[in-house]
Amino acid sequence: MSSGAALQCSGYPEEKLQALTPILMCREAQAETLLTLMGEPDQYSYPSVFIYGHRATGKSHVLFTLLTELQIPHAAVSCVECVSAGLMFEQVLSALFGVDAASLLPRSPSLSDFVRVYRQACLQHPAQETRYIVVEKAELLRDMEVNLLPALLRLQELVDDNVTVFLLSEIVWEKFRPNTGCFEPLLLHFPDYTKAELLHILSRDTHPSYTPELYMSYINILLGVFYSVCRDLRELRHLAALNFSKFCEPLEKGEARESDTHKLWKNIEPHLKKAMQSVYLREVSSAQWEQQQTDEKEATALRGLSAHAHVELPYYSKFLLIAAYLASYNPARTDRRFFLKHHGKIKKTNFLKKHEKTSNHLLGPKPFALDRLLAIFYSVVDSRVAPTASVFSQISSLVTLQLLTQVGHDDQLDSPKYKCAVSLDFILAISRTVSFDIVRYLYDFL
Amino acid sequence: MSKRKSREKHLAVGECVSQVQRVLRERLCHQRLPDKPVGLESQYKHLLELLKRTVVHGESNSVLIVGPRGSGKTMLLRCVLRELLEVQEVKTNVLQVHLSGLLQTDDRIALKEITRQLQLENVVGDKVFGSFAENLVFLLDALKKGDKSSSRPVFFILEEFDLLAHHKNQTLLYNLLDVSQSAQAPVAVVGLTCRLDVLELLEKRVKSRFSHRQIHTLSSLSFRQYQDAFRSELTLQENFPDTKFCQEWNLGIKKLCEDKAVDEILQKHYNSFKDFRSLHSLLLLAVSRVSVSHPTLRAVDLLEASRMSSSDSKGNMVHGLSILELCLIIAMKHLNDIYEGEPFNFQMVHNEFKKFLQRKSHSIHNFEKPVVFKAFEHLLQLELIQPVDGGVCKAQKEYQLMRLMLDHTQVMEALQRYPQCPTDVKQWAVSAFG
């Protein structure tokens, strides 16, 4: 019975528990705690248990493996799928009592209906063993009906049945508690995998034509690059699968042998760093990434989305956007200095003394009036432009492109206010196309 | 022969442990009613007297049971009902209607539920009523017996009374309390709530119909009583199948109560929560660790349970963050220190982080800004940082103002526990000026 690492819990067939141990690797302690909390099938269990932990730490995996392999009656609902509470009730009832029970629910059922139908069904099928309801992504419960969460937490009392509700979430319980409090669930934490555990798990999916040791060393390199940024097992696994072919390239070409670890590392390292800037940020899809790997020559030309971060705009629109950027990031009192040829006696030293400590590029864009925008626009654009309707319509099309945002209400016709909503890199790219040196005009960079 | 005997005994131990688990779990999880409510004797007497008058003399009454969560309001009421229903005459005569503010979210649903629980669906049939009051009076009239003018007493038990007070116009409460005031049918309205200011929620016309009887279950438990409760919750009763095991178990529990370490744990728990329910959850965590290999409850189990129930959940989450995300949190902590808790945006955090990289980082590489932003968004998703205005403002994402949801000590503690934290990061966190 006591064979070290194997799971133990009385009330369940031993051989099944034995078989579970390899599936639940690195999560044995958590599985054991869960099993002891659940107790033997016919005993009562705590009304609600809240399980939290980071994404991909095996919360659902462990729970569902236990419930399905040990054939425990349970209902699984994910809050992402349940747009309304009614859908959730239907899923729970049909999973626990069959479709007949679920069909007893009226249209758009309330909690009261659910509890009534549950009690009815429960009378027909009295509990032989504990029933479980597993609610995934429980943080979304907060956005559903107000009473749903408190009611689920004390469902055992409300329906008077041997039922336990598991809530799974990656957000801590403190953020769930309603104003007047509620039934407090048991809290159970799933800790993150350590680096060694990640290595162990990731190196399990080996490539058939290469040795496991090679794959292990590959995973080691991958973790070296990504571990400080990302600890999500699922994401790491995805990255590992995508880049392995690149890693093996020198081996296939015959340029290196499996023992040339240094050579392999040199080959893959820059590649992985590039992957961090594109695949990890989801700027290219996996298919595009693989495409890039096959035709190496084009790879230099193909870049992520952020590299193409400029759009083609009409000539005046570009200047309007530049003017808007200047108006948003420069204080209004400095306009004289930047845009008047003879700005009088403002000395540069004096002027710089008033330098505020925090730059506007930290605080974000400030709103400005239309008049100021136009004034700056006329002074930066090199030719004379008449204030025609075309200029104004270009402003409103910049707003629809969401390069500018209008502040306040739309009904302010006489002096609308705007904010510039583009980044510094973007505006630098734009001003380069019209050969305008914007940095010279920015107060923050004096 | 002796071998067989020992095997039999072993089996018996397994059986006994499973019996212990069954008994204790029923107590701790299912809130099985105790023989007598502990620490609530006077309240018990008061409520029993009140409900008896309704049953025996046909007097209508209304009462509110007010007390914090987990203090035993429902338990008190159920104990009283259990004693009342022991009398056969009462059992056949009294009707109970259980409503809960959680389930009956509006008056229409509540009325349907009342009809169903009074088993009057047939009587009502397809009748159409003008108003809520008319409907309720009809329902109560239907309960009047044919031979005498007296009717069957009805208990209305309203859980989460404060939620019912949020219904439109408080029609349900108004009518129930109105019936309890006027001499129509003998009705007892018992409300249970955790809000001390519940009377403020009631409209004037509703309030004036309420008898203003309140029973408080504010826990005045002393530590000695708490310890006694601890012991009695774990002690097995005489009717346990295996007397020898039962004696041993009870002896073990007695010893456990005298243990210094256990005393300390209980004291700590008592100081933070006094109610029974949190005691139950603590005990369940401990009891669930009892197994065949160690069939008694040990102080270690209790210690482990206490550690589990009092662990800092946010600290646990910080433990699983990547180095980059941790660095961002430290940068936010510094911003909080410098600007005295003013909100910050991503640009400021990134700026602070860059300053750190330039000055003294050896272990952290320079990351692209979008990569840093992804880490920032992950923190946002975990709700370790929260937008100031609920995320409705139209500012660019990197300029949205945020607040850190961790305090200084939590960050430092998490940093201590963080696995393989680079020394320069640690020093950066400690240093006063960025």
Question: Do B29 and A46 make contact, defined as CB atoms within 8 angstroms?
Answer: yes
pLDDT digits (tens, 9 = 90+) for B284-301: 999 988 888 888 888 999
Of B412, B410, B407, the residue nearest B430 (C-alpha): B412
* pLDDT reported for residue A327: 94
Question: Do A46 and B281 make contact, defined as CB atoms within 8 angstroms?
Answer: yes
pLDDT digits (tens, 9 = 90+) for B19-61: 888 889 988 888 778 888 877 889 999 999 999 998 888 888 9
* pLDDT reported for residue A325: 94
Question: Do A362 and B324 make contact, defined as CB atoms within 8 angstroms?
Answer: no
* pLDDT reported for residue B5: 43
Nearest by CB: B109 against A112, A187, A281: A112
- Measured between beta carbons, the chain B residues lying within 8 angstroms of A194 are 419
- Measured between beta carbons, the chain A residues lying within 8 angstroms of B318 are none
* pLDDT reported for residue A309: 54
- Nearest residue in A to B75, CA atom: A157
Read off the amino acid at residue B423.
T
Number of CB pairs, chain A paired with chain B, less than 8 A apart:
182
| Domain boundaries defined on chain A | 14-189, 195-307, 315-445
Higher local confidence (pLDDT), A94 or B141: A94
Question: Do B284 and A186 make contact, defined as CB atoms within 8 angstroms?
Answer: yes
Q: What is the value of pTM for the model shown?
A: 0.89
Restricting to A residues 214-253, those with a Cβ less than 8 Å away from any Cβ of B are 227-231
pLDDT digits (tens, 9 = 90+) for B212-247: 999 998 877 788 888 888 998 898 888 888 888 888
pLDDT digits (tens, 9 = 90+) for B87-127: 888 888 888 999 999 999 988 899 889 888 988 877 777 77
> How confident is chain A (446 residues) per 10-residue block, as mean pLDDT?
53 84 88 90 92 93 93 94 92 93 91 94 89 95 92 92 94 91 92 92 86 89 89 90 87 82 85 81 77 59 48 88 93 84 58 59 89 91 82 91 84 82 88 90 84
| Alpha helices (H) in A227-314, listed in sequence order | 233-253, 261-278, 286-294, 296-299
- Measured between beta carbons, the chain A residues lying within 8 angstroms of B414 are none
pLDDT at B1 over 50: no
Confidence of residue B434 (pLDDT cuts 50, 70, 90): very low
Question: Do B105 and A365 make contact, defined as CB atoms within 8 angstroms?
Answer: no
The CATH class of the A14-189 domain is alpha beta
Nearest chain A Cα distance for residue B311, angstroms: 9
Nearest by CB: B382 against A171, A276, A277: A171
Restricting to A residues 361-420, those with a Cβ less than 8 Å away from any Cβ of B are 361-365, 405, 419
Give me the percent of chain B exceeding a pLDDT of 90.
36
* pLDDT reported for residue A394: 92
For B162-172, what is the mean pLDDT?
Answer: 91
pLDDT at B423 over 80: yes
- Measured between beta carbons, the chain A residues lying within 8 angstroms of B320 are 53-54, 57, 191-192, 231
Q: Is B371 on the interface with A (CB under 8 A)?
A: yes
